[in-house]
Each structure stands twice: as C-alpha cells, then as structure tokens.
Amino acid sequence: MQKKGFRFYLRIYFKILAQDIKSKMSYRADFIISTIGMICTNIAGFISFWILFRNFPSVNGWGYYEMLFLYGFSLVSLTPVQCLFDNNWSLRMNVFSGDFIKYCFRPINIFFYYQSEVFDIKGLGQLAFGIGTLIYAWVKLGLVFTPLMLLKMIVFLITASLIMISLQNAAAATCFWIQNSFYILDLVCRFRDYAKYPITIFSPFFRFLFTFVMPIAFIAYYPSLVILRPDEVPVLSWISPVIGCIFFFASYKFWMHGATKYSGTGS
C-alpha cells in the first residue's frame, strides 16, 4: 500500500471535520446551551481566584495576576485535547460494543481516523476565554511583548498541550485491557484541575507526583515560568518541549498497540 503523506491526511481531516460540524449545527440549542455552560464554568474559576485573593495578597509568593496567568495558560493549553481528542471519551464504549472494529479496516491510520471523527467546537469558547485571561494578566503584570516572547508562548503552549493529550490518550487506551477504564480516564481529567496552580504550594510528595508520575505541572507551571519568571527558570522548563514530544509519542504508540491488538468484543 502506498504510504500516505501529510497533505492527504490534512485533506481527509477537513472533510471529516466539515461533516462533524454540520451534524452538530443541526442541534443548535444543545450547542448553545453547552457553550454557555462552559463559559460560565470558566467565569466561576475566574471569580474563585478573585475571592481567594481578596483575603490573601499572595499564595506562597505567587500574586493574583501570576495565578491568573497560570489559569489562562492552562485553559489555552487544554483546548486542543478538548477540541481534537474528545472522542477518547467514547473509546471505551466503542471497544466494548465492538463498534471499534470498523476503524481497523480503513486504509488510513487508525488513531488519526478515530480522533478526527469528533471535533468539540465548544472548546473554542474556552480558548477565547483563556486567551482573554492571558492578555489581561499579561497587561496587569507589565510583561514585555516581543516576537521572541510570542514564539516562546506558542512553543510552550504546544508543549503543555502535548502533555495533556498524552495523559488522556494513555488513560483512554487502557480500555483495550481494563474493563472499568473509565475511572482511570476520569481520574486523569480530575487531576488536570490542579494544573492551574504552581506546584510550590503543594507538599514535597505532591510536587514529585505532579512532576514525575502524573506530570500536570508541565501543563502550566513549568512552561509559564519561561514567561513569568525568566530569571529563575528551572531546567525542567527548558526541556519541557522535549518531554512533551516524548510523552505524546509514547502515548500514541501505547494507544496504537491496543488498537492493533483489538479483534472485537471477544478480545
């Protein structure tokens, strides 16, 4: 079979995306209500920070606008996993029902085809809110804006996204071997709520856990230090792009290993 290149997959992706968006737009009320709900959730998070810092000027050396920057950074970095990889939440049901077998006979990459079937357009509302929060915090902190700074932001936001995508891919793929894998995926999703906090506010045990076991510290804390505190950037921040790529590749191989071994409901 002839190896298919990037242009082929890009063309196929946009065709699948167009169909998915058309199907979602046929239920406009559901889309509008879900989008409003997501925006309200993010506003609630914003307000919680405001209430917290009315009573405490800082948390372990982190001020209100620095924490707000971390919050906005985490929202933006989590958008790709919500928009592009939301179908991971349905993987368990497709595997157990046997419907996943249809993906095994397509003449394209299984991972690409499965993930591209769903685009959660509601995540764009989260992206807009996150960008707005980042800009607001950036201005209040008086950070200098330069092309190099913008490049750093883009690189480290991609890095943070790769970490969260990797965690979700690996957690979702456990369904190929574990029947009640939903709880693993749900646990990873709950852990990501801690990504918007600096790990320095946690005990040494949780610092180690969030850095080397469940690396959510790479979703916002370590990448954002390059922007927020350029004079005290740890080595883990600089190597986080490499770590993100390694984690993503490992999670992809793990997902594909389970998918290629799948043989239906009898597996």
* Predicted confidence (pLDDT) per residue in 114-157, tens digit: 999 888 877 888 888 889 999 999 999 998 889 999 999 999 99
Q: What's 58's DSSP letter?
A: E
Which one-letter amino acid corresponds to residue 6?
F
**Per-residue b or e along 121-140, where b marks 16 or more CB atoms closer than 10 Å to that residue's CB:** bbbebbbebbeebbeebbee
pLDDT tier for residue 62 given thresholds of 50, 70 and 90: confident
Closest to 217 in 3D by CA, of 239, 198, 241: 198
- Predicted pLDDT of residue 37: 73
- Predicted pLDDT of residue 169: 95
Q: What are phi and psi of 32, to 5 degrees?
A: -65, -45
Which has the higher per-residue pLDDT, 99 or 232?
Answer: 99
Residue-averaged pLDDT of the chain:
86
- Predicted pLDDT of residue 87: 92
Whether the model clears a pTM of 0.75, i.e. scores above it, the answer is yes
The residues, ordered by sequence, that sit 6+ positions from 128 with a Cβ below 8 Å of its Cβ are none
| 32 close to 168: Cβ distance less than 8 angstroms | no
- Predicted pLDDT of residue 1: 42
pLDDT tier for residue 102 given thresholds of 50, 70 and 90: confident
